[in-house]
Amino acid sequence: MNRTTAARARAAFAPVAAAGLALLAVVAPAHAATGTPLVPTDLYNDYRACSTDPAAPLYVTGRAGLTVEGIPGNSDPGAMWITAQYRAWPLSDPAALVTAERPYSFPGSEAVATLGGYGAPLRDGETYAWQARSVDPDSGAASDWTAPCYVTTDDTFPDAEPTVSSSNYPSGQLNQGGAPIELTLGANGVDDVAGYAFTWEGAFPIAGGATIGDRGIPTYHDPYTTSPAYFARADSLGGSTTVRLVPPQDTGYLVLRVKSLDRSFNASQPTTYYIAVKQNAPTVTQVSNSPQYGKEATLKITPDPGLQAASPVVSYSVRHLGRNWTDTVVPASASGIAELKVALDDPDGDSLLVTSTSADGWVSQQNWWRIDGADSAPTVTSATYPENGTGGSAGVPGTFTLTPKVKGLVSYTYSVNWGQPVTVPAGPRGEAQIDWTPPASGWYALDVQGVTKDGARTGTTSYYFTVG
């Protein structure tokens, strides 16, 4: 069973397993109540309201015990403490009594205890009745027991994994994406399957759990109604169900894992269903001419025709990988087309990661669009030491002229053969010169970057030459 245990700011409870109805005595508190204990109300087991119908018990697991709770009370509004006592027995063997209590409970608030548990689990496959009562910790006076609640324990896991098939995304072939995936999930002959859990992301979600509200009263989260993206109820006990799912993102090769669940949320081994999807990333085209570093590029985004036909594209998610990462959602026109302006601010090149989102929630595969940053790198020339050529000789000075490709450069930083960087100022039009004398003959690499007034660096020019 998968169970979420809600946090409660309470003292630890004291379970007691015993034969008969004898329960632990409680040390009297400083304030002794003068009223009479009241029959507990608001009875829950495993965070679900108890069933008082023996023909319709709630199904639970017994291996970790049964979490029970009720609101004990006292007719004296000044009573500080009350003890909640619980007892349970299998209908087939009423003498096999299991007891527990929660001392120092607050009158008027849920008091939680566990019947049975590790080392003393409840019997598998049995229907149990359980009751609660309030006990005055000073006088020992007790209320009547509540009417019985009924649960059936089931610690047996479904012994066959579910079957999975799809009418519109069959496994083993390439499918057009965009429409919700219709899947039929079957019990594979297991007669107590009550529902199914499924996930695109590897880990299965937790079934159930509760929100704890006023006076500690739990509101149970039925996974079949509160989490339809992960759970589906079977059409009948041991039956199948059909679901329509949209994956969180189309990666081109979708993997869905499915487990069947019995009435106690014991899970089967998983079945894995594979779906291959045709390439469907949006197309990104450059509209503006020769976009450069420091300028805006205008881009047109066009949807995949197959996706657009299956469900119209309504927006695009764009991640700009520049000097900083930014995420933008761009609305699409009725035809699915969008236009986007991007400031190219990375000297090493800017990239866009683009996906489309359709009206039905389908997120396409990803397109990676990139403009190289080399256009921002400065131009380097030398008459004495030509690029990719041989010139000069050891000890002969050479002048290297640096010319910007972008506006606003205030300096250049260069290094020779990846040595110590040197910075030189730029002239009024962003130009500069480097005077350098080779110490010896051989091959050299001159790396140059421009620097703008706000500290941004251009792309790097690597200028190679040989000294004769």
**Separation between Cα atoms, residue 230 and residue 224, nearest integer Å:** 8
**pLDDT at residue number 33:** 64
In a domain, 1, yes or no: no
Q: Give the closest residue to 57 by CA, choosing from 133, 144, 134, 125.
A: 125
In a domain, 4, yes or no: no
For the chain, the average pLDDT equals 91
Q: Are 137 and 27 in contact (CB under 8 A)?
A: yes
**Separation between Cα atoms, residue 183 and residue 385, nearest integer Å:** 70
Percent of the chain with pLDDT strictly greater than 70: 92
Minimum mean pLDDT range among 219-223, 276-280, 451-455: 451-455
What are the percentages of helix, strand and coil residues in the chain, rounded to 5? 5, 45, 50
**Separation between Cα atoms, residue 346 and residue 341, nearest integer Å:** 15
Is the domain of 329 the same as that of 397? no
Question: Which are the contacts of 18, defined by CB distance < 8 A and separation ≥ 6?
Answer: 97, 99
Is the domain of 273 the same as that of 170? yes
Minimum mean pLDDT range among 112-126, 305-319, 411-425, 452-466: 452-466
pTM for the model stands at 0.78
Contacts of 116-121 with CB under 8 Å at 24 or more apart are: 116/17, 116/62, 116/65, 116/66, 116/88, 117/15, 117/64, 117/65, 118/63, 118/64, 118/65, 120/17, 120/65, 121/62, 121/63, 121/64, 121/65, 121/155
**pLDDT at residue number 28:** 43
Q: Measured on CA atoms in the order 101, 104, 110, 112, is the torsion positive or negative?
A: negative
Is the domain of 273 the same as that of 169? yes
Count of domains in the chain? 4
Is the domain of 108 the same as that of 218? no
Find the mean pLDDT for residues 137-152.
97
Is the domain of 212 the same as that of 255? yes
Question: Which are the contacts of 378, defined by CB distance < 8 A and separation ≥ 6?
Answer: 402, 403, 404, 405, 409, 412, 448, 449, 450, 458, 461
Is the domain of 357 the same as that of 310? yes
Find the mean pLDDT for residues 5-13.
34
User: In which band, very low, low, confident or very high, does the pLDDT at 14 lie, cut at 50, 70 and 90?
Assistant: very low
Of 277, 300, 324, which marks where a domain is finished? 277
Find the mean pLDDT for residues 200-216.
92
Of 101, 127, 153, which marks where a domain is finished? 153
Host domain of residue 384: 377-467
Minimum mean pLDDT range among 17-26, 214-223, 428-437: 17-26
Find the mean pLDDT for residues 56-60.
98
Is the domain of 367 the same as that of 383? no
pLDDT digits (tens, 9 = 90+) for 231-247: 999 999 999 999 999 99
**pLDDT at residue number 4:** 38
Asked whether residue 219 carries a pLDDT value surpassing 50, the answer given is yes
Of 118, 153, 188, which marks where a domain is finished? 153
Domain containing residue 209: CATH number? 2.60.40.10
Is the domain of 367 the same as that of 397? no
Percent of the chain with pLDDT strictly greater than 90: 80
**pLDDT at residue number 267:** 97
**Separation between Cα atoms, residue 402 and residue 379, nearest integer Å:** 6
